[in-house]
A = this chain, B = another copy of it.
């Protein structure tokens, strides 16, 4: 059976290599020239519990995993129980008879459907018994996923071996032997096959945080400082791992407060610095953001939201930090906030914000969510398309750090320079010396505020609102990682709808939306109070016709979302 969209799900305990099994399959699809989207659902624990990875692939772009899987590999009883109901009609669920005593071949009816438990075929394969023949059986069961996938998608045993060599090199020979055994057992257990066509060309498979990292590097990132916090940590890990190749210095200091102030200090001496965190850690950086705003020190930040408030649900997604991101820090200062709606956009937007931060000596915030940060997908990145910061730099001469200029921004200069360069968190005069003089206070407020308009002019040249689909169709508004879900839903459901996605949220691109004042779009977001909807109403005068919201920590499922959208659009 060949399918337009093929979905593979593997579930097991934390520590069994579930995520790895997902990424092995996604890589395999990518190498076949197909598109792939990987979602990892994991708990805030290290061993045990229940994790699963879902990979959806197609020969066209795919913006989400799907809820119904064509192939499910359940490594333990919990996975069987949780996912039995997610098997697509005609699909096959492969599980271990030890873990799932009841799930034996007897359950299968002739037509491949198991009437008791829903559609699809359930087969058992001795995943654990076979693994026990080798040392460290618990670490090996992930290979069973690859073996099953190869068998069911009609790849050869040699292709499987090649895959294992590339992906499971530790204790390789045992892995190969184990994999071949499972492969044979799967072939014997079921006739269901999903041959997968090759796609047009191989694409890199990247996580959202990796795209952000690369975007920052493309725009000249010098120093990255961060304190671990899910779902931002993988950005730290990726940059730390590749620091030499990327030419980036990475520091993990004692706290987020240290992070932000180290970054501000680094930027003041000319290093393109960036910080990243999630809500709780970001909250601790607020004082430093206001500091950067006052001192006009360029600072790029990545805020990856998780289910909140407070500690919340660390490994799950939400879009509840929007108003927080837009209003950080006390007092009045410029800041730019943008939220990417795709992996490629994450690269572009991060580079753009680095440019903006340096061009306007301001704070840039890449607002994203766990869903983009930690999902992976095949991406077409426009490497050369990245912005490159062009800060205004002083030619030496009698330097004044905060010179009031016609260009609005005061040129920068970094020690050693022969000049006095004073950055200050106090209100200051043009030299950066503290002032309490009323006229100077007013002058400096005006100087900083003039940047607001200049930034807006600059941002107008960027792709601030992305329109997807026929502009005359009914409108759906969304933003951030939810864009991917909405686009996939529209595609999957064949909906007649245009999706409007503001990428920039501050300055809010009202100029792009003026024509839409008074329209009544559907607004989709992962927030329980509708922060994005409120923003649309307040900034652009656009009132929602209907709101589609999800806030249980899980991303939207495209087919379910399509049904919901269909209902409200009609």
Contact = CB atoms under 8 A, between A and B. Distances in A.
Given A280-B287, A294-B308, A313-B426, A439 B330 contact: no
A309 B324 contact: no
Given A313-B436, A528-B449, A283 B290 contact: yes
A320 B294 CA distance: 13
A286 interface: yes
B323 A327 contact: yes
Interface-central residue, A278, A291, A327, A554, by most chain B CB under 10 Å: A327
A438 B331 contact: no
A463 interface: no
A324 B435 CA distance: 24
Nearest to A280: B287
Q: For the complex formed by this chain, how many copies does it contain in all?
A: 2
A43 B287 CA distance: 23
Contacts of A316: 436, 441
Contacts of A449: 528-529
Contacts of A293: 309-310
A309 B290 contact: yes
B290 A280 contact: yes
A283 B287 contact: yes
A452 to B, nearest CB: 7
A238 to B, nearest CB: 23
A279 B425 CA distance: 13
A102 interface: no
A145 interface: no
A445 to B, nearest CB: 4
A414 interface: no
Contacts of A44: 436
A216 interface: no
Contacts of A426: 310-313
A284 interface: yes
B329 A283 contact: yes
B283 A310 contact: no
A551 interface: yes
A384 interface: no
Contacts of A282: 330
A66 to B, nearest CB: 17
A553 B438 contact: yes
A529 B332 contact: yes
A206 B518 CA distance: 50
Interface string A412-423: 000000000000
Interface string A127-147: 000000000000000000000
A404 interface: no
A333 interface: yes
A442 interface: yes
A452 B424 CA distance: 40
A486 to B, nearest CB: 20
A324 B327 contact: yes
B332 A552 contact: no
Interface in A290-345: 290-291, 293-295, 305, 307-313, 315-316, 318, 320-321, 323-324, 326-333
Contacts of A230: none
B427 A331 contact: no
A445 B528 contact: yes
A327 B330 contact: no
Contacts of A458: none
Given A320-B330, A327-B327, A436-B43, A313 B441 contact: yes
B307 A427 contact: yes
Nearest to A554: B438
A527 interface: yes
Contacts of A528: 332, 442, 445-446, 449
A310 B291 CA distance: 5
Contact of A318 (B283, B324, B327, B331): B331
A51 to B, nearest CB: 11
A538 interface: yes
Contacts of A283: 286-287, 290, 329-330
Nearest to A289: B283
A312 B330 CA distance: 10
A2 B556 CA distance: 75
A269 to B, nearest CB: 19
Interface of A: 43-44, 257, 278-280, 282-284, 286-287, 290-291, 293-295, 305, 307-313, 315-316, 318, 320-321, 323-324, 326-333, 424-427, 435-436, 438-439, 441-442, 445-446, 449, 452, 527-529, 531, 538-539, 551-554
Given A324-B327, A324-B331, A332-B528, 13 more contacts: A279-B330, A280-B290, A282-B330, A286-B286, A291-B310, A294-B310, A311-B424, A312-B426, A313-B441, A316-B436, A321-B330, A324-B330, A441-B552
12 contacts: A257-B284, A280-B290, A283-B286, A290-B310, A294-B312, A309-B331, A313-B426, A320-B332, A327-B327, A436-B553, A441-B551, A442-B528
